[in-house]
Structure 1
Amino acid sequence: MEFVELVRLAARCFEVAGVGAMVLGSLLAAVNVAVHRGRSARHTYRKLRQSLGAAILLGLELLVAADIIRTVAEAPTLGQVLVLGLIVLIRTFLSFTLAVELDGRWPWQGDPMATSEPREAEREEPKAVPPTR
């Protein structure tokens, strides 16, 4: 098997994995809703949207990887590169908007739940405890 054929096969595998992630993730989200249907409708709906969004996001990232890998196998024309660029741009935009939908913040913004160590200048000096008599 030649290099070009291996790269095409790898791209095809990423495509299958991307579609599989979306389909399997959607099925798991539906099963999760069916199992937890006793909870409030708002909670169930939110969990369904988060699960579906995560599955779609993973699938889109795998499909973008497949598109990029495929360009290695071919000697693309300018038109093919422009189409690929547009596809990657659209999928990246969808990924960002899904990330905002799921997390409530842009991907490059820090996690508000993460704790960070205070900087050296922000640390408080330990206060001296007066001696007791």
Structure 2
Amino acid sequence: MGNIEVYIDYVAKITETIGVLTIFLGSLYSIGKFMFSIRSKNPDSYLELRQSVGKSILLGLEILIAADIMATVVTTPTLKSVFILGLIVLIRTFLSLSLQVELEGKFPWQKNKN
């Protein structure tokens, strides 16, 4: 059983790295796209940059939450570790929800007004 815990820990670390890279590379891509958009005098350039960076952060946060959950599987569950995981997930979920409201202008459970 000890070997599988090592592999799960590796998978969690790799997933964390993917989450951070998603935010970083997505932000770089968004900034590059913004630079080309400025040259064409697109009036919506800044809005598109915010939307694109926000989406990168949202996706990265979701991946990081998954990594946190995987990392807790390999630790011996204590009240302290469960509390810390819950707090981390709560904070990241709040950030994700806030970003989504900022990007879309509505809560995820609200219907589109057509």
- TM-score, length of structure 2 as denominator length: 0.91
Instruction: Indicate the RMSD between aligned Cα atoms, in angstroms.
Output: 1.5
Distance 1:39 1:57 in 2: 28
Unaligned runs of 5+ in 2: none
Distance 1:39 1:21 in 2: 28
Please say if 1:74 is aligned against 2:75: yes
Please report how far the alpha carbon of residue 71 of structure 1 lies from its aligned counterpart in structure 2 after TM superposition. Answer: 1.1
Please report how far the alpha carbon of residue 112 of structure 1 lies from its aligned counterpart in structure 2 after TM superposition. Answer: 4.2
Please report how far the alpha carbon of residue 109 of structure 1 lies from its aligned counterpart in structure 2 after TM superposition. Answer: 1.9
Please report how far the alpha carbon of residue 77 of structure 1 lies from its aligned counterpart in structure 2 after TM superposition. Answer: 1.5
| Larger Rg belongs to | 1
- Percent identity for Structure 1 against Structure 2: 46
Distance 1:73 1:51 in 2: 34
- TM-score, length of structure 1 as denominator length: 0.79
Listed one character per residue, the Cα deviations across residues 28-80 of structure 1 (whole Å, up to 9, x for unaligned) are 01100111112344x11100100110010011000000000111111121111
Task: Tell me if structure 1 keeps the 8 A contact 2:30–2:49.
Answer: yes
More helix by share: 2
Distance 1:112 1:94 in 2: 24
Unaligned runs of 5+ in 1: 114-133
Counterpart residue identity of residue 3, structure 1 = I
